[in-house]
Amino acid sequence: PRPPQPPPPPPEPLPASRPVTCRLVAERTELESAPLRRACKRYDAAFCGVDGAALSQQYVKGRPPPPRWTSLMDAGTPPVEDHNFVSLTYGEAEFVPLRKLLRAVGGVRDGATFVDLGSGCGRVVLGAALAFPAAKLVVGVELVPQLHDAALSAHALLLDFLSGPADGCFGLQSCDLNDAAAPAHGGCAGASTASGGSTGAGGNGSATGSTAGGSNSSSGGGVSTGRAEGADGLAGGGSSCSGNGVAGASPALGGGSGAVRAPPPGSIAPVRLLCGDFLQTVGEWSSADVLLATSLCFPPELVSELEQAATALRQGARVICMQPCFGSGAFRPCSVVAPLPPPEPPHKVVMEMSFGDASFYLFERLPG
């Protein structure tokens, strides 16, 4: 018979472990000043519940006419059509990553004009206007009407937030606008009301209001049903403008009088939002000192047309795009403030976007 086996030794006691606490910190805590952190909170609140990707998908599912462009270099060339809507692929950036990108390329100087081509629901435009309030003008050009209308609504809400009391919550129960700790993102839980007649409920960011010259309402994620034709609206082309909070120049919240309370001086740069094809509105953005094109999914033909259109920029103007080569002799690569280590090129900078880290490249307009 097999002899009895000794009992197994007792298990060794596990080493004492300390409890691990995971604390989520809002990204805006990286910002170096209280005014910037408050601006970021108001930015988050203005876009509370706005889903630009869903609006873009909704537009494409409606099977609109595909984007098409005629060559600026050869009028006899047949128009190119983007039947797969690749050029409308949506991506967006938040306030903090955008500010890092713009500071890396030299910032937007006082009195300068910043332009975003393909501005979507206005996140880059409004973020740049808040981060660089001394800019002369911030312009956004967007082709998709639903995204353009969402940008108009967000701008109107932001102006209303900025013109309210510095320590007030403006009725937003979850999107805290004070300088105390607040969630970095997320919907507005519960019923909430912004001064001036805009309302939101159940986290869908619903907003209702009226604009100078027409109704402009959004619901369920910021889908706008109207057009905003302010006093500075462009004649022809169906373009719309959103001004800097001056009466009659921007969407109005509540009452439909065309007047929005002006925000405090120095809190936000003047904003203009245009709806249309940026190749057909070159005259509206050729005065840019800094031009941003999130051009990762632009077909090669569209990139070539953008290069040709950008030659209308003045000498020394900067272009930020997603192609490592741009301009075919009219532009030169320009080193960023803090270049990435080799072998990365010195004119490359990385920004976190909704789909992950994205590479951008800086160029400068040459004489001629």
User: Hey, which bits of 44-148 come out as E strands?
Assistant: 68-69, 80-81, 113-117, 137-142
Tell me phi and psi for residue 166, to 5 degrees.
-65, -30
Flag whether the pTM goes above 0.85. no
Check: CB of residue 170 under 8 Å from CB of residue 198: no
Helices (H), 62-106: 95-104
Bridge partners, 362 (sequence order)? 320
Q: Are the CB atoms for 220 and 208 separated by under 8 Å?
A: no
Average pLDDT over residues 172-190: 40
The pLDDT of residue 291 is above 90: yes
Dist CA 327 CA 312 (whole Å): 12
Q: pLDDT digits over 63-108, tens only?
A: 899 988 877 666 677 888 888 899 999 999 999 999 999 999 999 9
Q: How far apart are CA 238 and CA 220, in angstroms?
A: 25
Judge whether residue 215 has pLDDT over 60. no
- Residue 306: pLDDT band with limits 50, 70, 90: very high
pLDDT digits (tens, 9 = 90+) for 128-167: 999 999 999 999 999 999 999 999 999 999 999 998 765 4
**Distance from C-alpha of 302 to C-alpha of 80, rounded to nearest angstrom:** 9
Q: Which residues contact 13 (CB under 8 A, 6 or more apart)?
A: none
**Domain range list for the chain:** 31-154+179-185+234-246+265-365
Name the band, by pLDDT with cuts 50, 70 and 90, for residue 14. confident
Q: Is 237 a residue whose pLDDT tops 90?
A: no
The predicted pLDDT at position 3 comes to 83
**Burial class of residue 111 in the structure, from the number of CB atoms within 10 Å of its CB (0-12 exposed, 13-18 middle, 19+ buried):** exposed
CA–CA dist 323, 295 (Å, integer): 7
Is the C-alpha dihedral spanning 89, 55, 290, 358 positive or negative? negative
Rounded to an integer, what distance in angstroms lies between the CA atom of residue 142 and that of residue 319?
18
CATH fold for the domain made of 31-154+179-185+234-246+265-365:
Rossmann fold (3.40.50)
